[in-house]
Chains A and B, each alone.
Chain A
């Protein structure tokens, strides 16, 4: 019984996610489980997953946030659309330019924060105002309607806003499952070989079964296997998955990732351990703006147009996803996987509520309550049991 309790405690958010899905499955008479809604969940929330990844890295360091990312999306998309539509640059050139500009912005913010010691929320508040102003100015100069349509730039849209054919979905799913299971078994085998403590076979099997089931569920849905109307796998899912996998690896397996966690735990101790804490902080904000560019690509392709309202509240969505996903608001703890669950939870709640056509004002109330509940849960859960 104790073991069940422990499993429940460690996986509370995942369990809540499942319960919320079941809840909406009942209230929407199963509509939320349709192939089209599986598609919407990913395409509508791609930017959240990508931005929250960068925000997660910033928050690891003492709970720092970046308020400017939504405005960056607006600015970068305005520049990109202007280059592709009005100036006639090719798609690769425009994309590389967007990355370069994003990195320059990130370097400036990172320098202000890391080397001039400006509190992150103030430095990025400056960006929040300036970048949106700049982005809006560009689109108003470029067009009389204050929006640049990229409908004719097929190459760009294809990269982010198209679908991999239905027939390939199930095979891709199977390949992913095989790779996942293989990696799990290999990791356990190495542990046993070297004589370290390894998890039990039961845990391993359970994890493989659950993860494979989730992957295959998506694969079947996108492939239209159950005979419903499906579009295939959204290409943006590939982008999201690649970003998540890379950053999960960085944060959990690399020396750089360790620096982030250590700084969140004790900045001074980390500095005196010979680690260039300023450089790491600089990198966090540079990286955040780099990821904003990727999020900008996905948003521009999805909306097919650049205007002054792009990316509004994106920064808040990213912060919420991290908080709900158990990333500590004080820094030093959290994981990419947790953040993904948090983002998915918010995404499912959004989707479910709009299918039920709940008043948007009430939707905001619900989201606010979920956010606060998650923070309270984290703090209560991590409170030391005794105070000796």
Chain B
């Protein structure tokens, strides 16, 4: 048996009123990749924050034994000195600084009064090579895509002489290709340098690909640790541990939904980048969606899916938009979001915190924001009616909250997504474009979102669901468009869709160039 590098013993962390961690035990051996899985709010991030010193010693109970000694970290710097480096889900790079400057931020080369730039960039290039990046370390971070930024974060961690690397949802904003490259990098470091890592992830296929051991956290406690060496680990097995029961069907069935006339039709749609007008982000895309139909648009992050959706939604993104679109058989030219809503089109954003919800406002205000006319007369809001509407949608979508007066910022991801859906359902659209409707939410809430989608089409709405998760796209869609590099590269009916056939569309299009 290998040496135990880290042991967290009986960790209990209480916030006022909430026990976030309850007697958690975690054992990580040297040179392994250890995955931490669990539903949102299960306590994974809290546990890692305890480990990295964000919650200082004394604010929790229990012991952290690292490399054979009991550690008392008071700040992040303490844990980093021991070689424990955490990479957070939200990348913490400064866009207008170079890679090199970012890499040694707070850890500058040379003297405090005179930074040694040659050493900075020389060292930085060395680490960039290790993670397989060919860009110069003098490149500004804003020029890099999220995939490369994630690699820079890892290089930065290596520059801090990391022995134990903690990655919090490292692939949540990466496409499949970049995700795979990142995971392979971790495997390579494990083999070549004996680097130990802890990876927190929602993506179970990645977890089973990369991890040696998987610890399942549920409701602030460690449920079990699965060892790949001793047993076969399937995704269903992990899910069972996470939710505490078997989920027999991850995608609810739709019954008796009649598919009717074409509701939205987009033809020869072209969109250019708002800042670099010579760059085409959507290239001659045509598609349609019918009444009662769920159409999936599968594509990796950066394929132009969000850009397509937002440009359709009242030209909310891009410049030089050309093409025609028709709603309910009638040609329309939507100039802004308001006209789109008036024409019964809704866009439910993938970025609910950034441009979906007003986090410091209560549920009721968020619910009615896109359709205030419905709860007001002569521009004066009927607050009682608004409250009533919010409660109605809360019950309908089973949003878990004591009251609709609760600020949206205090809700979990899944419940925020429900409020966002409620807001757009209340706008009474005929066609809803759902952009990554289940991103970053846990398995249980995902199932509920799928049920809501089914209810929507049952009511005769049309749904366009954008997703970068293959099983979800296949499981939920009547028809699937595959998007790659701004173009639609395939259209598949439900019965012909499979992981292989979809990936084949993308591969074929890549070769064609």
Contact = CB atoms under 8 A, between A and B. Distances in A.
A383 interface: no
A303 B304 CA distance: 63
A387 B369 CA distance: 28
A265 B370 contact: no
Contact of B316 (A254, A265, A272): A272
Given A258-B365, A258-B372, A266-B355, A271 B18 contact: no
Interface in B318-377: 336-342, 347, 349, 354-361, 365, 369-370, 372-373, 376
B144 interface: no
B106 interface: no
A268 B379 contact: no
A268 B341 contact: no
Interface string B382-418: 0110011000000000000000000000000000000
Contacts of A273: 337, 341, 369-370, 423
Contacts of A332: 358, 360-361
A128 B86 CA distance: 48
A332 B362 CA distance: 12
B384 A196 contact: yes
B1 interface: no
Interface in A180-217: 190-191, 194, 196
Contact of B18 (A191, A266, A333, A388): A388
Contacts of A261: 358, 361, 365
Interface string A106-134: 00000000000000000000000000000
Interface centre among A191, A271, A333 (most CB of B within 10 A): A271
Given A254-B381, A385-B16, A265 B336 contact: no
Contact of A255 (B18, B358, B372): B372
B341 A262 contact: no
Interface string B217-256: 0000000000000000000000000000000000000000
A386 B17 CA distance: 9
A388 B17 CA distance: 11
B46 A388 contact: yes
Contact of B359 (A265, A385, A387): A265
A253 B381 contact: yes
Interface residues of A, number: 28
A386 B355 contact: no
A275 interface: yes
Contacts of B313: 272
Given A262-B361, A265-B358, A274 B381 contact: no
B316 A262 contact: no
A196 B379 contact: no
Nearest to B360: A265
A266 B365 contact: no
B276 interface: no
B113 interface: no
B140 interface: no
Of A262, A266, A273, A385, most buried by chain B (CB within 10 Å of CB) is: A273
Contacts of B340: 274
Contacts of A256: 379
B357 A266 contact: yes
A253 B384 CA distance: 12
Given A191-B384, A196-B387, A272 B355 contact: yes
Nearest to B55: A387
Contacts of A270: 358, 369
B130 interface: no
A269 B357 contact: yes
A266 B408 CA distance: 12
Contacts of B347: 272
Contacts of B359: 265-266
Interface in B32-82: 41, 46
B354 A268 contact: yes
A276 interface: yes
A269 B360 contact: no
Given A194-B384, A254-B380, A275 B338 contact: yes
Interface of A: 190-191, 194, 196, 253-256, 258, 261-262, 265-266, 268-276, 332-333, 385-388
18 contacts: A196-B387, A254-B379, A254-B381, A256-B379, A258-B381, A261-B365, A265-B359, A266-B357, A269-B354, A269-B369, A271-B337, A271-B355, A273-B369, A274-B342, A274-B370, A275-B337, A333-B360, A386-B18
3 nearest A-B pairs in the assembled complex, by CB-CB distance: A265-B358, A268-B355, A274-B338
Given A254-B376, A272-B355, 18 more contacts: A194-B384, A196-B388, A254-B381, A255-B376, A255-B380, A256-B379, A258-B381, A262-B361, A262-B369, A265-B359, A266-B358, A266-B359, A274-B339, A274-B342, A276-B336, A332-B360, A386-B17, A388-B18
